């Protein structure tokens, strides 16, 4: 499972919406070689199952070689099939109970809770390994379902020990309030892959902000 035991905010890296697999394998490997990524999620929308299988076959070994959990978005069934470490589900996906059945007791199941305290509490009570709040900022990756406020993160830290992930338009320029509010993980997409100095440089900068003592 994902752990927030370090006491510092960690980086949850998500794949870009579209990519050429041959190129992205190299980019992901370079990103993970920084040692700054705690989890990676393969998120491919509106693609055929075979595309998720092919991408997983290519990217899962890279994550395994770096000791980084590999999560498949939306599809617990394919996560189980390809041997992923877990899955992430949203409001329009199958429920937590079925996702847990598919990935097993040892698999990671994360759930999107958007800006809902109730959904988060229900998910945590059911046994989710982490919950995700967002979007905190405007994002070009997808049309956000909701806008989340920073107080959600602080409230969550005061309420439970289940890790929380902050997502939505997070960059090195705006992540400090998210970290200060209490996010255990910050989910990063374009803030890493589209960074002007490259993904590896972005991850190092994110990590310094997450771990100011380093």
Residues labelled as active-site residues: 43, 112, 142
d(CA 121, CA 10): 22
Q: CA-CA distance, 173 to 195, in Å (whole number)? A: 11
Ramachandran bin of 75, using left for φ above 0, alpha for ψ from -120 to 50, beta for the remaining angles:
beta
| Structure tokens, 147 | 């806008």
Contact between 51 and 36 under an 8 Å Cβ cutoff? The reply is no
70 forms bridges with which residues in the sheet? 40
Instruction: Give the integer Cα–Cα distance in Å for 115 and 107.
Output: 25
Task: Report whether 30 contacts 6 (CB < 8 A).
Answer: no
């Amino acid at each position: 499972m994902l752990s927030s035991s370090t006491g510092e905010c960690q980086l949850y890296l998500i794949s870009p919406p579209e990519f050429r697999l041959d190129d992205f394998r190299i980019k992901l490997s370079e990103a993970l070689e920084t040692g700054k990524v705690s989890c990676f999620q393969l998120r491919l929308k509106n693609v055929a199952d075979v595309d998720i299988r092919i991408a997983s076959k290519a990217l899962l070994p890279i994550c395994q070689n770096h000791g980084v959990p590999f999560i498949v978005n939306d599809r617990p069934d394919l996560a189980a099939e390809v041997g992923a470490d877990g899955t992430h589900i949203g409001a329009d996906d199958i429920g937590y109970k079925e996702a847990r059945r598919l990935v097993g007791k040892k698999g990671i199941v994360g759930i999107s809770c958007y800006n809902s305290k109730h959904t988060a509490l229900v998910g945590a009570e059911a046994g989710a390994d982490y919950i995700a709040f967002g979007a905190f900022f405007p994002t070009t990756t997808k049309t956000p379902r909701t806008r989340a406020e920073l107080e959600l993160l602080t409230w969550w830290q005061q309420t439970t020990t289940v890790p929380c992930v902050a997502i939505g338009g997070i960059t090195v320029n705006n992540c400090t309030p998210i970290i200060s509010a209490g996010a255990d993980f910050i989910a990063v997409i374009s803030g890493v892959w589209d960074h002007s100095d490259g993904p590896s440089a972005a991850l190092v900068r994110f990590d310094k902000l997450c771990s100011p003592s380093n």
